[in-house]
Amino acid sequence: MGTPPEPAMLRRSQRSTRRLPRRAAIGRRSFSTTMRALEELSEAGAQVSVHVTDLDTGAEVLGGDAHVTLPIAGLGVVPLLIEVAAGFEAGTLDPLTIIDRSAAEPVTGSGLWRSLRTPVLPLVDLAVLAATTGDPLAVNILLEQVGHHRVRDRIASLGLVQTALLDRFRDERGPDDAPHLAVGTTRELTSLFSALVNAKAVDAAVSAQVAEWLSFNHDLSLVAAPTGLDPFAHEHDAHGLLFINKTGRDRGVRAEAGVLAGPRAGVAYAMAVGFDDLSIAHRLRAHDAFRVLGVELMEYAH
């Protein structure tokens, strides 16, 4: 299991309409460039939502349609990881249980495990794969092992009322399947990540374990791009950045939530964009908005 976040690490951070409302940031930054980028996306027909809070005070630093429920794709896996970590901690789930991937229905669209030569892995390694690469097979097996009903109960116990993991990963979604893997609001996702780094998601041990898994996440291409962190080794940054995140990607869906803490401040953030994925240009415009937020978060925290 991981160890609880060091208090000193957290102390260093002390310091529905289509058109988003303008709200000024607390302190140094107005996040005006982020709001302008999101307003342009909204005016082009995208659904957008953003929420940022200060880690120490809980005060809202930035908000726009943070109460609106949107698809969040693989970002919805975080409550599943919390339930898995809670099962490991309570002893109801054995982290070393060996799972054969042939027992799960294939998901051919993406994933790392399907390309590995080993057909079997322990549950704890599947949790790492789910957190770091969003591996669909790993996620589906974890969901089967703990049970969808327990994930729903865990989400409710965390105080999330508009966030849900609706289904497993599928190659195709038919009329009888849930339309999305997961949905949520940026307000609730920000609260969830704040709870993780403040050791309040279930308890300190579970929070630390999930935060550790997420600290190895390889997808630093959206909000995290301006940090310059190494996607494969960023848990001990030489410049004093504490960073964990999880992204969600699907056709016309981009979402990310995480925590960024620097020498001057720390924030929990979440952003979700639903857009018409009609061309590479549409997709890149959505990605650019995430990176703009990343730049202004860095300026706020560092």
Residue 240's pLDDT band (cuts 50, 70, 90) = confident
User: What's the rounded mean pLDDT across residues 176-191?
Assistant: 96
**pLDDT at 206 > cutoff 80:** yes
User: What's the rounded mean pLDDT across residues 204-225?
Assistant: 96
User: What's the rounded mean pLDDT across residues 205-209?
Assistant: 98
Q: Taking all residues of the chain, what is their mean pLDDT, rounded to a whole number? A: 89
Task: Please state the pTM of the whole predicted model.
Answer: 0.89
User: What's the rounded mean pLDDT across residues 36-57?
Assistant: 95
Q: Quick one: pLDDT at residue 195?
A: 97
- Nearest Cα to Cα of residue 269 among 64, 82, 129, 131: 64
Q: Quick one: pLDDT at residue 29?
A: 62
- Nearest Cα to Cα of residue 242 among 226, 223, 265, 221: 265
Q: How far apart are CA 200 and CA 253, in angstroms?
A: 29
Task: Transcribe 197-238 into DSSP letters.
Answer: HTT-SSSHHHHHHHHHHHTT----SSTTGGGT--TTS-SS-T
Q: How far apart are CA 297 and CA 302, in angstroms?
A: 8
- Nearest Cα to Cα of residue 100 among 136, 138, 131, 148: 138
Would you list the domain boundaries of the chain? 7-301
- Nearest Cα to Cα of residue 170 among 110, 127, 81, 219: 110
> 32: part of which helix (H) or strand (E)?
helix 32-43
**pLDDT at 11 > cutoff 70:** no
Residue 167's pLDDT band (cuts 50, 70, 90) = very high
User: What architecture is the 7-301 domain classified under in CATH?
Assistant: 3-Layer(aba) Sandwich (3.40)
Q: 242 versus 7: which is more confidently predicted?
A: 242
pLDDT digits (tens, 9 = 90+) for 71-99: 999 999 999 999 999 999 999 999 999 99
Q: Provide, rounded to the nearest whole percent, the portion of the chain with pLDDT above 90.
A: 77
Residue 5's pLDDT band (cuts 50, 70, 90) = very low
